[in-house]
Amino acid sequence: MLGIDLSGKRAFIAGVADDGGYGFAIAKALAEAGASICVGTWPPAYTIFTTMLERGKFDQSMTLASGEKMSFEGIYALDASFDVADDVPQELKEHKRYKDHQDVSIDGVATRLRHDFGSEGIDIVVHSLANGPEVKNPLIETSRAGYLAAIGTSAYSLTSIVRSFGPLMPQSGAFLALTYMASERVIPEYGGGMSSAKAALESDCRLLAYESGRKWGHRVNIISAGPYASRAASAIGFIDKMIDYTSKNSPLKGRLEGQDVGQAGAFLCSPMAKAITGTVLYVDHGYHSMGMAVE
């Protein structure tokens, strides 16, 4: 029987702050396959997330097929807007939601993981990070600052993560990121530079796959997932409309589930996909293949 076995592997998922997004779904699928899980959480959401975990608010969604509950080996405060500690403004370091944490930069979290698990202690890294402060603005009304913020957090952070985490991974490590088809098609109202950020993310995936493959033997892939009603997606403002339209006009009808993306992610991060890198895998019920609306 062919199955995914990630026993003895450790995954770090950047961008988990609740149990409702694709990052969490991928974490759960990796855990189902036997991997141990660490997550990176945005500092302003860290206390809320850990408190809800302690109170058992996520117990049902964290229950695995075996009946056991998924656990997190580590929860790290991560702000992917910053590459190193010196990039974090002093006033932010002193903010009440940041001051109790150690270095929250990408390199800072990588350093902590090296301290906690050793120089080759991470096998899988998932980039589930996106933020566009002006996502509700049409592109033509997006400020330079808003545009660059979307690019920095949603796209460049993958480059920074590969640079900082690549040396922590044994040969044949796997990186995975999440994109959306707004990178290549017009999605009205998906603004603020986010469509440009997703296009940059996909382009960077290919070059990072080449560079990290030659440097360390690592793989870098992306899942282009269909719309999903996560808490983070509510920031877009019209997520229900997107889901309704794509579910009616895809080759496979129905709503996309987090598990669909989670299982695809587990495959791409497993040895079963050891010859796949630099690839965008569509997990969207086939919607990307359509050239005309059905309904």
Q: Write down the pLDDT at residue 279.
A: 98
290 located within any domain: no
| Weakly modelled stretches of the chain, pLDDT under 70 | 1, 229-237
92 located within any domain: yes
pLDDT 10s digits, 213-251: 999 999 999 999 998 765 555 566 677 888 888 999 999
Q: Write down the pLDDT at residue 90.
A: 95
Q: Write down the pLDDT at residue 294.
A: 86
Instruction: Give CA 149 to chain center in angstroms.
Output: 17
293 located within any domain: no
Catalytic annotation present for 46: no
* Coil, helix or strand at residue 126: strand
pLDDT 10s digits, 124-152: 999 999 999 999 999 999 999 999 999 99
Q: Write down the pLDDT at residue 217.
A: 98
264 located within any domain: yes
Closest listed residue to residue 227, CA positions, set 204, 250, 251, 203: 250
254 located within any domain: yes
Active-site residue, selected from the candidate residues 76, 147, 156, 190: 190
- Write the CATH number for 97: 3.40.50.720
Q: Write down the pLDDT at residue 236.
A: 63
Active-site residue, selected from the candidate residues 22, 46, 180, 287: 180
Question: What's the domain range around 247?
Answer: 10-285
98 located within any domain: yes
**Whether the model pTM is above 0.85:** yes
Residues sharing a CB contact under 8 Å with residue 288, sequence separation 6 or more, in sequence order: 181, 185, 224, 282
Catalytic annotation present for 190: yes
Q: Write down the pLDDT at residue 235.
A: 60
Q: How many domains does the chain have?
A: 1
294 located within any domain: no
292 located within any domain: no
